[in-house]
Amino acid sequence: MLRTVELEVLNKVIPEYREAARRGQIELSASPFYHPILPLLCDTDIYRRTHPDSRMPRRRFVHPEDAVEQLERAASSHERLFGQRPVGLWPSEGSVSDAIVPLVAAAGFTWMATDELILARTLNATFSRDARGHVDHPERLYTAYAVRAGGASVACAFRDHVLSDLIGFSYAGWGADAAADDFVGRLVEAGRRFRERTGGGDALIPIILDGENAWEHFEGGGRPFLRALYRRLSTHAELRTVTMADACRMPARELPGIFPGSWIDANFYIWIGHADDRKAWSQLADARQALESATADTQALGGAREEILIAEGSDWFWWYGDDHSSAHDLEFDDLFRRHVRNAYRLMQKPAPDELFVSNISSAAPPEAQTYPTALLCPTVDGDETSYFEWLGAGSLEIRETAGAMHRSDRRVPLLTLVQFGFDRERLFVRVDAVRPMVDLLADGHEISLKFLQPDGVRFSVCQRLGRLIGRFWDRQSSSTAIVGSAPWTERGPSHAVVAAGTVLELSLPTRELRVGAGDSLAFFVAVYDEGVETERHPEHRPIELTVPDALFEARNWRA
């Protein structure tokens, strides 16, 4: 019953907005469809304008055509829902640059908006304020501009940062009437100062804030405050509310370009400034390049493009780095990488191994992982010959909530435990499963150690015609290949030893892994079924080890 009532209410929201817009009571603006940072889609190198010495993604992302599609989809969706195409654009996070101006104009938008700091940087000026927050050059801020770039022109308004943030962050702790009185008083004073500086005329004071974030902190979800504010605005002798389209119809000033940045510090640092951001942009750029050469059928390629457009959204990058965090960072990270992996799957291309590794550099190693504490000397026979042969090994306990993250059915993993360690010349790995490993292999499953360090090495075990086969594979190098997705070739004869019984045991010479004492090793354990990867463990970060050096036993000695 409650759900029925909720749906009835929700189904009235869009029609109410549509009708209010038809009456001219409100104006509905749009934002790019999947909420991307348009300037970064046009060219990630635009970030160098504010951070010239910053490191950049390994592959430059330059796809203004994607920005065009995000704008067109937004306009088309808006028209479908509200009966008319929008003329106003709030670019995601107020992000602007010269490159987006012709794209915005071509999509039919006549105005856009961003933050006052963007205007200050564009004018190479500073908007100082007095103790009450009143701006010292209101004639510069409180007017619409025509921004001209790339042979096109779009009107632009710049929000009053202080007044907008009073609603967004301060008035929630005030009484509704007191907050409304304070706000209206500030508007009146701003208008008075504007007239003093210009000798008359009306000030345009844009108030822009996140429409979904502030009201949960207000009494009554913000209704008492908004009603008090609108009541005062509706009857005030000196104040008049206008739509942005009306306010921007005849821009009073012109700008020969606009400073590139967002409404947060007039730059794009949050979305590309961290190493985690840059890694994600690199993955996105790789996938976008792979799409251009993909040869799958039209429907599959359309699906792959959709996945990439989704991954271009700004919110994935919002949670990377150390400036924003939540209890769900790993989930956001996993969803981003899953969308990019989905694109490769639809393109019928192998997804790079790094898309199975968390982009969050601070992500902790698996809770259920321990590290080797002694050199090993196991009997590689596929059975637990002795309790002591794996004593001192590192281990990864595989729980039901781990692994198989990329499966939609979330089945219980086949593998239960991975143990690993070294002697002076070999890496030993033991894999336990829910039933004897020899049976799993006989059923056609394949077990693969997928190394990230050293890069481009795999060791796979399968059964063919009743014979157990262990093989090294190397990734072919190619200067034009997408990172981590070049084809694999089987290596020649190896001194590796494999055995399968109740468990799977492997002995791999470290020299064939191309590592020596003190070098790092990092690998996943994957399960394949008929050539399709069905499990990968650990979930977010690989098993990471260091090949023992001469002091390994001394460091781990216990009395």
* HEC letters along 143-180: CCEEEEECCEEEEEEEECHHHHHHHHHHHHHCCHHHHH
Structure tokens at 170: 């301060």
* pLDDT at 94 exceeding the cut of 60: yes
* pLDDT at 476 exceeding the cut of 70: no
Q: pLDDT grade, residue 437 (50/70/90)? A: very high
* pLDDT at 85 exceeding the cut of 90: yes
CA distance 40 to 61: 8
Residue 286: CB atoms within 10 Å: 24
Identity (one letter) of the amino acid at 493? P
125-134 per-position pLDDT tens digit: 999 999 888 9
The residue written with tokens 């993909």 in the block is 294
| Residue 413 exposure: Cα atoms within 13 Å on the Cβ side | 26
Confidence at residue 387, expressed as pLDDT on a 0 to 100 scale: 83
Average pLDDT over every residue of 78-84: 96
Confidence at residue 484, expressed as pLDDT on a 0 to 100 scale: 58
Confidence at residue 483, expressed as pLDDT on a 0 to 100 scale: 58
Residue 348: CB atoms within 10 Å: 13
Average per-residue pLDDT for the chain: 92
Torsions phi, psi for 524 (to 5 deg) = -105, 160
* pLDDT at 60 exceeding the cut of 90: yes
Confidence at residue 303, expressed as pLDDT on a 0 to 100 scale: 98
Confidence at residue 455, expressed as pLDDT on a 0 to 100 scale: 87
* pLDDT at 410 exceeding the cut of 80: no
* pLDDT at 516 exceeding the cut of 50: yes
As a whole number of angstroms, the longest Cα–Cα distance in the chain is: 95
For 210-240, give the DSSP string.
-TTTSGGGSGGGGHHHHHHHHHHHHH-SS--
Q: pLDDT grade, residue 56 (50/70/90)? A: very high
* pLDDT at 405 exceeding the cut of 70: no
* pLDDT at 457 exceeding the cut of 80: yes
Torsions phi, psi for 280 (to 5 deg) = -65, -40
Range of weakest confidence among 154-158, 402-406, 487-491: 402-406
Structure tokens at 476: 């072919």
Average pLDDT over every residue of 75-84: 97
Residue 270: CB atoms within 10 Å: 21
* pLDDT at 119 exceeding the cut of 50: yes
Confidence at residue 162, expressed as pLDDT on a 0 to 100 scale: 95
6-40 per-position pLDDT tens digit: 999 999 999 999 999 999 999 999 999 999 999 99
* pLDDT at 438 exceeding the cut of 80: yes
Q: Are 88 and 245 in contact (CB under 8 A)?
A: yes
* pLDDT at 284 exceeding the cut of 90: yes
The larger pLDDT score, comparing residue 135 to residue 323, is at: 135
CA distance 225 to 221: 9
DSSP state of 129: B
Length of the chain: 559
Exposed/middle/buried for 343, CB within 10 Å: 0-12, 13-18, 19+?
Answer: buried
CA distance 556 to 539: 28
* pLDDT at 408 exceeding the cut of 50: no
Average pLDDT over every residue of 414-431: 96
Exposed/middle/buried for 15, CB within 10 Å: 0-12, 13-18, 19+?
Answer: exposed
Range of weakest confidence among 62-66, 144-148, 272-276, 358-362: 358-362
CA distance 36 to 40: 8
CA distance 147 to 55: 30
CA distance 340 to 359: 13
**Domains of the chain, CATH where assigned:** 26-269 (3.20.110.20), 274-356 (1.20.1430), 369-555 (2.60.40)
* pLDDT at 409 exceeding the cut of 60: no
Inter-helix orientation angle 64-82/2-23, to 10° = 100
Confidence at residue 486, expressed as pLDDT on a 0 to 100 scale: 66
CA distances from 520 to 158, 422, 433, 483 (A): 52, 13, 27, 20
* pLDDT at 141 exceeding the cut of 60: yes
157-213 per-position pLDDT tens digit: 999 999 999 999 999 999 999 999 999 999 999 999 999 999 988 999 999 998 788
Give the closest residue to 40 by CA, choosing from 54, 61, 59.
61
Percent of the chain scoring above 70 in pLDDT: 95
Average pLDDT over every residue of 315-334: 90
* pLDDT at 407 exceeding the cut of 50: no
* pLDDT at 155 exceeding the cut of 60: yes
Confidence at residue 378, expressed as pLDDT on a 0 to 100 scale: 95
- Ramachandran region of residue 35, left (φ > 0), alpha (ψ -120 to 50) or beta? left
